[in-house]
Amino acid sequence: MSADYSGFTNREALWQSLRNGDQNWDMVIVGGGIIGAGILREAARRGLKVLLVEQRDYAWGTSSRSSKMVHGGLRYISHGDIKLTKDSLGERERLLTEVPGLVERMGYYFTLRKGQFPGRIPFSILLWLYDRLAGIKNHRYFNTLSVEQHYAGINSDGITGAMYYTDTVTDDARLVVRVLQDAIAAGGQAVNYVKAQSLIKTNGQVTGVLLRDEESDEQIEVVCRTVINATGAWADQLRNEVNPEKRIRPLRGSHLVFPMAKLPVADALSLFHPVDKRPVFVFPWEGTTVVGTTDLDHQEDIDQEATISAAELDYLLQVVHALFPDHQLGQEDVISTWSGVRPVIGSEKSTDPSKERRDHAVWVDAGLVTVSGGKLTTFRLIALDAIRAAAPTLGSVESKEPSDAIFSAPDITPADLGIENMRWAQRLIGRYGKHAKALLEQANEGEHQLVGNTEFCLAECRWAARNESVLHLDDLLLRRTRLGLLLEKGGESLFAELEQICAKELQWDSDRWQREVERYRQIWRKYYYLPVAEGRAETA
């Protein structure tokens, strides 16, 4: 079984191979988010025969709905966990080096207020240690006038200045895809829209999984030496087949997306919410401005997509009104929203979701390895812990590769792409690796032009449809690209061009296209816009 030109597994050929029982698997990974992708990458580099299955689309869950920040975690220092902070910062710097253009440094201004803790001196000490652990030095203090000049229209009443530091920002769904591509190039296999229906047990030990193709409903049994449950917020569901313990506390975080022209910010603005003093951010992302995040227990059905509530909408708008009252922004200015469910390990010690630790945990039950919790930043370290936990059934797990790099170095440079905008060229290489040049070469005339105020182009849509296991329109607009979050009405203005692309690359006829459009509109309106139940979606 081999990968196709793009680095993605041929889905139909893989399913046929599974049906025929052609391969003896060392490992099956359940879950196609960043942790599952990271485990696939590390398992493949160790020469293991490994298969990843994802019941929806890659990164469909938390890994496409995070706050897009690859950060070291200032809060861990305040909790006294220096090792975790150092590990996170080390991984942050690694990603900046390995995938520039996909993971990029971003400035943060933390507003200081009279009588607010921490003040300037304690925060300066905290940032000195933060930078020292990262091996950089870029924190400094800005006075109130500087803050006013940097953030046009900000309400500076009560602000005594700001502490500046840096972390990084990314496109989380594309990060997952890049890890998957390198994992498959190293010999791993992956398939989306395939659910692990149940575990197979022999003499009380987990020895495989019953898989169901969500597109055809066909079921297949796959036997393997070890199963790793990397389903994040869904981890208890599979684990409860062998252990009744409930350990995951699903916490929802929601975000608002505004046009950059209506809420212009050049760097992230970090502050405490005026009502409950929780940390919130206003930051630039993909040509828009994002306000987030909330942090509350997710009581809804975990198998349904998370969506912002009316209370969360009002909560985040309070931040905008308090900071930028003259902008007079309201719900009618919101382009889109997104909500993600964080897989936090419940401590049973705190009723406040924001006080729960963000560590990861690994459990082994009857041969099933379950991993959950943790942060986007440390996915590689979490993956290594999961593989070490599986070692008793796998034997030697030493890497077969000379380097521990997550991403293989592309054999092209920005200058090789033949475009004038070197920053955009680096962005394409960061997102598509060695395939960036082919992406541009295979595009039709006019498809290199950037769409709206975004840095996406239709050439990326064509490439993804042709090469990146796109099964539905929402895969294309919400995860392979983020155009559904960045454009008015979920990107409906592109439908005519996208219909032609999907007809050519996916062989969708007009009936299939109409079904996909209807599916997409329902998903976008219900889960990526304003709360319908409160009558707030009529303007869409």
Q: For the chain, how many helices (H) and strands (E)?
A: 17, 18
Burial class (CB in 10 A: 0-12, 13-18, 19+), 349: exposed
Pick the CATH number of 11-62+173-247+357-394 from 3.50.50.60, 1.10.132.50, 3.30.420.10, 3.40.50.1000: 3.50.50.60
Quick one: pLDDT at residue 351? 57
Q: Confirm if 394 and 48 have CB atoms less than 8 A apart.
A: yes
pLDDT tens digit sequence for 182-219: 999 999 999 999 999 999 999 999 999 999 999 999 99
Fold for the domain defined by 442-534:
Helicase, Ruva Protein; domain 3 (1.10.8)
Tell me how far apart the alpha carbons of residues 495 and 473 are, in angstroms, rounded to a whole number: 10
Quote the pLDDT of residue 538: 33
Token representation of residue 110? 């933390």
Compute CA 183 distance to the chain's CA centroid, rounded to the nearest angstrom: 17
Q: Are strands 159-170 and 140-142 parallel, antiparallel or unpaired?
A: antiparallel
CATH superfamily of 88-167+250-346: D-Amino Acid Oxidase, subunit A, domain 2 (3.30.9.10)
Nearest to 357 by CA among 367, 368, 365, 349: 349
What does the alpha-carbon distance between residue 525 and residue 275 come to, in Å, rounded to a whole number? 29
Enclosing H/E stretch for 226: strand 219-229
Percentage of residues in the chain with pLDDT exceeding 70? 95
Same fold, 11-62+173-247+357-394 and 88-167+250-346: no
Q: Are 292 and 281 in contact (CB under 8 A)?
A: yes
Mean pLDDT of the chain: 93
Contact 342, 233 (CB under 8 A): yes
CB 377 within 8 A of CB 273: no
CB contact set of 368 (below 8 Å; sequence gap of 6+): 199, 206, 227, 228, 229, 238, 239, 241, 242
Distance, in Å, from the CA atom of 263 to the CA atom of 256, rounded to the nearest integer, reads: 12
What are the extents of the domains in the chain?
11-62+173-247+357-394, 88-167+250-346, 442-534
Token look-up 């082994």 returns 364
Task: Give the integer Cα–Cα distance in Å for 155 and 271.
Answer: 13
Neighbours of 192 (CB within 10 A): 26
In the numeric block, the tokens 């006038």 are attached to 145
Tokens representing residue 155 in the block:
């309400």
Question: What is the chain's pLDDT, residue by residue, as a tens digit (540 residues)?
Answer: 444 445 687 899 999 999 998 889 999 999 999 999 999 999 999 999 999 999 999 999 999 999 999 988 887 787 777 888 999 999 999 999 999 999 999 999 999 998 888 889 999 999 999 999 999 999 999 999 999 999 999 999 999 999 999 999 999 999 999 999 999 999 999 999 999 999 999 999 999 999 999 999 999 999 999 999 999 999 999 999 999 999 999 999 999 999 999 999 999 999 999 999 999 999 999 999 999 999 999 999 999 999 999 999 999 999 999 999 999 999 999 999 999 999 999 765 555 555 555 578 999 999 999 999 988 999 999 999 999 999 999 987 888 888 999 999 999 999 999 999 999 999 999 999 999 999 999 999 999 999 999 999 999 999 999 999 999 999 999 999 999 999 999 999 999 999 999 999 999 999 999 999 999 999 999 999 999 754 444 332
DSSP 3: B
Q: Token pair for residue 12?
A: 């139909």
From residue 489, give the alpha-carbon distance in Å to each of 24, 31, 336: 47, 30, 8
* 528-532-536 Cα angle (round to 5): 95
Nearest to 497 by CA among 453, 465, 520, 469: 465
CB contact at 8 A, 23 and 165: no
Q: CA-CA distance, 173 to 126, in Å (whole number)?
A: 31
**414, 417, 424, 433, 466 from 421: Cα distances, Å:** 9, 10, 5, 17, 25
